[in-house]
Copies of this chain bind each other. A is one copy, B any other.
């Protein structure tokens, strides 16, 4: 899969998933990778960034069969950012679709 496509998109994927239910990093890797491959080395720095920017808060819970999980919960600012990124993405992907389809059927070729 084209790595370039992912640039900037994983941010909004993470925010979108966490927005619908608190998640821990390891879980996010598994869940998102079902659709778009993502590595731990990508997720953890991202989550730290989000936390530094005030988009999410964390809390720990015990895990049966492993070290404690660090759950991430979106803040209000995080939700706002998620909405904004999704809007940008939607606009962008529509623009691309316009370009790759709107040229069908010929043009005056001035």
Contact = CB atoms under 8 A, between A and B. Distances in A.
Interface in A3-25: 3-5, 7-9, 12-13, 16-17, 19-22
Chain A contact surface mostly: helix
Interface residues of A, number: 37
A96 B1 contact: no
Q: How many copies of this kind of chain does the complex include?
A: 2
B99 A5 contact: no
A107 B21 contact: yes
Contacts of A9: 4-5, 96
Contacts of A5: 7-9, 88-89, 92
B103 A17 contact: yes
